[in-house]
Amino acid sequence: MKIVVIGLGHMGGNMALTLHAAGFTVLGTDVAESTRNKIAERGLRVVAPKALPAADVYLLSLPTSAHVREVIESSPGLLQLAPKGSVIVDTSTSDPVVTRELAGKVIDAGLEWLDAPVSGGPAGAASGTLGMLLGGEATTIERVEPMLKAMSARYTHVGAAGSGHVVKLANNYLCAAHLLTTAEAVALAQRAGVSPEACLAGLNSGSGRSAVSEVNFPRWILSDAFDSGFTTGLMRKDLRLARDAAIDQGLSLDLLNKVVEQWHADADGLSDSADFNHITDA
């Protein structure tokens, strides 16, 4: 299976190297020459974005839906360059409305589509242990299953094209909410004389635990490391998209709206490049 990875940043670079190490024929590209060079130094073949070759799979790891649209629709984009029957897999956290539109165009052009947003950060991408949420046809998943297995410890087919991106936004809404609520819970215990470490040990043996209390607090927050590889700017984007997705479905979700407002207010002083875990001390 020949795979072209488009976007070699925190996630795409590590996914490309993992697939290469697993024995796939992988070629990477990125608009940033310095990023292409960094990945090439680690043994991956890279090409300039305008020189995309024929492949079985085009794996996208891009900042936003606007970038995904550009890669697919620009001239020449994947709609023109990708051979009939090849599969476009969008692992970015994208806008589901745009995803459904682009998936339709991709399928009309004789290609196949999967949205496959990921969880687990750069470390999960580097170790092939990402969680993946899949939107698209079961037959398309079967075609790329060996690739999914090399990248992911667990993938879940959640529905038709766009569904993976909807569930990813729901996931990141909960992650943002857990960061805010766990920080408040730890502050409450601390005021009452309990250390953050003791508080988290207690929470993690109880029903208040989450990935945030089990992973984010010990690994990135209490350790003062703040090097998760997921940025405040990306979480800002994801929360805006979650709210837009609710509006698109005609829903007004009070807690979602409150979390989005609180997050944006607390993150006001944080730069887009700051680690997203800094929200707990903002």
Binding site for ligand NAD (CB under 6 A): 6-12, 29-32, 35, 49, 61-63, 67, 70-71, 92-93, 118-119, 121-122, 229-230, 234
Active site residue 237: no
- Which residue's CB is nearer to ligand NAD, number 92 or number 199? 92
- Which residue's CB is nearer to ligand NAD, number 125 or number 185? 125
Q: How far is the CB of 71 from ligand NAD (least distance, A)?
A: 5
Which residues does 149 contact at the CB level (< 8 Å), separation at least 6?
none
Bridging pattern class, strands 25-29 and 45-47: parallel
Q: How far is the CB of 161 from ligand NAD (least distance, A)?
A: 17
Give the Cα separation of 272 and 33 in Å (integer): 22
Q: How far is the CB of 280 from ligand NAD (least distance, A)?
A: 17
Q: How far is the CB of 204 from ligand NAD (least distance, A)?
A: 22
The answer to whether 135 and 97 have CB atoms below 8 angstroms apart is no
Q: How far is the CB of 200 from ligand NAD (least distance, A)?
A: 22
- Which residue's CB is nearer to ligand NAD, number 32 or number 251? 32
Virtual torsion, Cα 143, 148, 153, 156, nearest 10 deg: -60
The answer to whether 241 and 98 have CB atoms below 8 angstroms apart is no
- Which residue's CB is nearer to ligand NAD, number 32 or number 153? 32
Q: How far is the CB of 217 from ligand NAD (least distance, A)?
A: 17
Look at residues 198, 235, 179 and name the one whose alpha carbon lies nearest to residue 63. 235
Give the Cα separation of 282 and 263 in Å (integer): 10
- Which residue's CB is nearer to ligand NAD, number 124 or number 185? 124
How is residue 173 written in tokens? 């809404």
Among the listed residues 50, 168, 237, 258, the single catalytic one is 168
Q: Give the CB-nearest residue to ligand NAD.
A: 9
How is residue 201 written in tokens? 């040990």
How is residue 156 written in tokens? 């879940």
- Which residue's CB is nearer to ligand NAD, number 15 or number 199? 15
* Catalytically active residues, by annotation: 168
